Amino acid sequence: MAQEKKLVEAITSMEEDFAQWYTDVVKKAELIDYSSVRGCMILRPNGYAIWENIQKQMDARFKETGVENVYMPMFIPESLLQKEKDHVEGFAPEVAWVTYGGGQQLQERLCIRPTSETLFCDLYSNIVHSYRDLPKLYNQWCSVVRWEKTTRPFLRSMEFLWQEGHTAHATAEEAEERTKQMLNVYADFCEEVLAIPMIKGRKTEKEKFAGAEATYTIEAMMHDGKALQSGTSHNFGDGFAKAFGIQYTDKDNQLKYVHQTSWGMSTRIIGAIIMVHGDNSGLVLPPKIAPIQVMVIPIAQHKEGVLDKAYELQKRLAVGYRVKVDDTDKSPGWKFSEQEMHGIPIRIEIGPKDIEANQAVVVRRDTREKIVVSLEELEHRVGEILDAMQKEMLGRARTHRDAHTSVAKTYEEFKDAIANKPGFVKAMWCKNEACENKIKEDTTATSRCMPFEQETIGTTCVCCGKPAKVMVYWGKAY
């Protein structure tokens, strides 16, 4: 039993210290390891396999909307980065600079991409000539570097993996439509696959992307009530096109500027999966994203026929599910706690008595419910259980979020909510940045978004009392 306890005892409980619980889980579930480079993490097989599944499923959704993948260089010459004023101001302070290459000092230093707007614009200025060349719907999967002072696995690291889509369109309307379309692709993916409900909305001027006309965002609530910005989609209008000279000859023979968008989602979303679904035994992965969905654990595996039966179940289930047998020489108890720590949605316990009774014990990771299943019905029942788990995980996350969302009509209510009720606060705002700044200073909360689904919860700004223009979700954020 000493062995069994070790794995779980090694993690701090989430009620005691959520931040430490998070760090313990990412390490004990072997998602990441720290590297010799400050602020850079190593994605180990368990962590990378989650990203591979995200990538595969998101990529298919992108391609359904006509997106094509490309790969751009990781370097941006300093002069190119500086072409769009707001953009360079936003990113220059946090980039890494290459100054030497091949033993020589470079004539112009190169930054490592913090994002690739400038490179895509440079490309588009070369390959877009006519309305026939539009739209361009390019995306790339790559890593980017942002020189962060404090880092946390998945949530904020100096280098991280992401995808960045960059599109160019003939009209402003088309660009706006694409910006929203991709936000919806993100939100649908997060809800349907990751079981994480999202608030969709627009960022305030203060919080929008450097160089964008409008930034749309999906915001999720973690188990501790904090917000996590999970994906963003930007409409650039023709700002970048003017800075980079991206023009096309339209059907009417007029030279016009293109309208552009960009949108990105990163390994940060793995942090959301952990912090929305995890518990004090470790990770809980939604079945649709779990690299292993079913772990078959033989009981008394030294007894004749047990391992063979376990492999037989694996073979049967492998037709429809991602399934493995834990046939190591560890004790069943240790195997259970590993399966729980790794968040594998279902374990199937099969021992001599089960074989005799032609049954197996199926244990759900999220509820720990033990379900005795006749072996005849195994495939069917496993499917049902995984479907139920996927659905109920989303339901629980939504219930948790709604239960931790409050409404504030006065500044007293607002401050009290932020201080004492972890979660989102819905409140009206006058759209004056001064109020946004004051709220941040007074409470550390920031505007998460101006949701597309507006509610009229008052007529005056929760901060200054002047006429309100919009309802905003506020919260403390990662």
- Contacts with its own copies by CB under 8 A lie at 33, 35-37, 40-45, 48-49, 51-52, 68-77, 80, 93-103, 109-110, 112, 119, 122-123, 126-127, 138, 142-143, 145, 147-149, 158-159, 161
250 contacts 131 by C-beta, under 8 angstroms: yes
Q: Which is nearer to its own copies, 77 or 383 (CB)?
A: 77
Give the nearest distance from C-beta 317 to its own copies in angstroms: 18
Decide if 33 contacts 42 (C-beta within 8 A). yes
Q: Which amino acid is located at 360 in the chain?
A: A
Residue 362 C-alpha from the chain's centroid? 30
- Cα 159 to Cα 140: distance, rounded to the nearest angstrom: 16
Closest CA to 203 of 449, 462, 474: 449
Nearer residue to its own copies within complex by CB, 70 or 464: 70
> Are 68 and 107 within 8 A, CB to CB?
no
Positive or negative CA dihedral for 414, 418, 420, 426?
Answer: positive
Minimum Å gap between C-beta 100 and its own copies is: 4
Give min distance, CB of 292 to its own copies, in A.
12
Q: Map residue 123 onto helix, strand or coil.
A: helix
Tell me the DSSP string of 188-224. Answer: HHHHHTS----EEEE--TTTS-TT-SEEEEEEEE-TT
Of the two residues 75 and 470, which places its CB atom closer to its own copies in the complex?
A: 75
Backbone angles phi, psi at 294, to 5 degrees: -135, 125
The C-alpha angle 181, 187, 192, rounded to 5 degrees, equals 120
Nearer to its own copies, 15 or 103 (CB): 103
Minimum distance from CB of 206 to its own copies (Å)?
Answer: 22
User: By C-beta, is 158 or 285 nearer to its own copies?
Assistant: 158
Helices 45-64 and 172-192: angle between axes, nearest 10 degrees: 140
Which residue, chain included where needed, has tokens 């991709």?
182
- CB of 207: closest distance to its own copies in angstroms? 21
| CB-based burial label for 406 (10 Å; 0-12, 13-18, 19+) | middle
Give the CA-trace dihedral at 87, 88, 89, 90, to 10 degrees: 50
CB of 218 to its own copies, least distance (A): 24
Q: Quick one: which of 300, 272, 282 has its CA closest to 365?
A: 282
Nearer to its own copies, 201 or 271 (CB): 271
Which residues neighbour 377 within 8 Å (Cβ) at sequence distance 6 or greater? none
Nearest residue (CB) to its own copies, 133 versus 192: 133
What minimum distance in Å lies between the beta carbon of 315 and its own copies? 16
Nearer to its own copies, 311 or 406 (CB): 311
Min dist CB 278 to its own copies, Å, is: 21
115 HSE (CA, 13 A, CB side): 21
- Tell the smallest beta-carbon distance from residue 274 to its own copies (Å): 17
* Of residues 141 and 410, the one with the C-beta less far from its own copies: 141
Please identify, using beta-carbon distances, which residue of 128 and 183 lies nearer to its own copies.
Answer: 128
For helices 268-277 and 18-28, angle between their N-to-C axes, nearest 10 degrees:
110
- Alpha helices of 203-331 — where are they, by DSSP H? 239-244, 268-277, 306-317
Distance of closest approach, residue 291 Cβ to its own copies, in angstroms? 10
Burial class (CB in 10 A: 0-12, 13-18, 19+), 304: exposed
Question: Least distance (Å) from its own copies to the CB of residue 83?
Answer: 10
Smaller CB distance to its own copies: residue 138 or 248? 138
300 vs 351: CA distance, rounded Å = 6
| Closest CB to its own copies among residues 102, 252 | 102
Q: Whole-number minimum distance, CB 81 to its own copies, in Å?
A: 10
